[in-house]
Structure 1
Amino acid sequence: MRIPPFYRHPVWQRFLAGAAVGGCISWLVFLFMFGTIQQKNSTIIERQAIRINELSGHIQILEEDKQKLNEENEKMLTIQEIDVKIHNFERYGINDRLGIYKAEESVGEDLRSLIAEDLTTVYKNKEIIKKTVENKRLTINGKQYRLVVKELYFYTTISLVLELKLAD
């Protein structure tokens, strides 16, 4: 096969030269437009990265402040009430609900001084609270009973679960 001899015709020479020059010019226009768009995008990305770093710093500061406030609030927790429950009174044939209620109130009165105290202070003295309750003697229906602490929970409410035992 043979290439047609278009290189000898000036019309075809002008057309091919124009296509080559047009291709070069269009390539330069494309590179210019692409470069300006990329430059704009890169400046936007830089600004966003700076903004993200600033906001991350603000978030970290806010989280530290929140943590400090939570720690301060935990330190400020105080005892609001005392809940006393006596179990196994049926074992000794005590059907006097009023007597059990009075015994629970008596124990609650002994511990009333703990109300409005700091939770950590009360928790540190839990053994003293236990001994105070266990050394108490109750008289129900003419019999002497002592209390044994089975469960002791601390939060804004002190919850005591007690058992009755016959006093020696």
Structure 2
Amino acid sequence: MHIPPYHKKAIWQRFFVGALIGAVIAYCVFAYMYNSMYERLLENNLELKSQVTDLKNQNDALLKDKKDLDEKNKKELTVESIEVTVTNAKNLKLDHLTAHQMEDIIKAEINQIIGQEVRIIDESSELLTSTIENKEFAINDFTYSFTVTKIAITQTVKIEVEAKTSS
């Protein structure tokens, strides 16, 4: 039995080259779609982990505070949560993952204020500001320092910071 010599005909050569190029393009499209989907899933996962950590810390602090409030005056307000926002993330061209990591690191640094009285935190707001500004944080082989631009102290402490890369 004889196999036909398709490799010698120009039409078949074009067909095989076209099929090969099509396969390479299809693989590139598949890899791009998979990577973008994986990045979204990873970002979503980090957001959910951050929320779970915040809720656990908040729950622990509130349970501890509830025990203390039974003994103390119930009229005083306490800090229940912390919100941190990096205002210049777009200017530094930071991806969402790095911005979330920055926010989580700052929250972890000042986590001990949850459950404290708002009056006490308000009196020591300069200490809170200097705690954030005087530390350098390493994220993804870069060292960042932060400047507090805005701080609002209520039951939810809202802090806006500007990130700077340190050399």
TM norm structure 2: 0.53
Shift in Å, 1:143: 1.9
Per-residue CA distance 1:92-113 (angstroms, 9 max, x = gap) = 222x211110110111111111
SS of alignment partner, residue 148 of structure 2 = strand
Is structure 2 residue 125 aligned with structure 1 residue 126?
Answer: yes
CA–CA distance in 1 between the matches of 2:142 and 2:90?
14
- 2:101–2:139: 8 Å Cα contact kept in structure 1? no
- Identity rate of aligned residues, in percent? 23
Q: How does 1:140-151 map to 2 (within 5 A)?
A: 140-151=139-150
Shift in Å, 1:81: 0.4
Is structure 2 residue 90 aligned with structure 1 residue 90?
Answer: yes
Q: How does 1:55-94 map to 2 (within 5 A)?
A: 76-94=76-94
Q: How does 1:17-166 map to 2 (within 5 A)?
A: 76-94=76-94, 96-166=95-165
Shift in CA distance, 141/91, structure 1 to aligned 2, threshold 3 Å: farther
CA–CA distance in 2 between the matches of 1:135 and 1:141?
20
TM norm structure 1: 0.53
Gaps of 5+ in 1: 1-71
Shift in Å, 1:142: 2.1
- 2:88–2:162: 8 Å Cα contact kept in structure 1? yes
| Bigger radius of gyration among the two | 1
Counterpart residue identity of residue 102, structure 2:
A
Per-residue CA distance 1:90-136 (angstroms, 9 max, x = gap) = 22222x21111011011111111101111111111101100001112
Report the RMSD for the aligned CA atoms in angstroms.
1.6
CA–CA distance in 2 between the matches of 1:91 and 1:141?
18
CA–CA distance in 2 between the matches of 1:80 and 1:157?
6
CA–CA distance in 2 between the matches of 1:141 and 1:119?
34
Match in the other structure for 2:13? none
Residues paired across the two proteins, number:
95
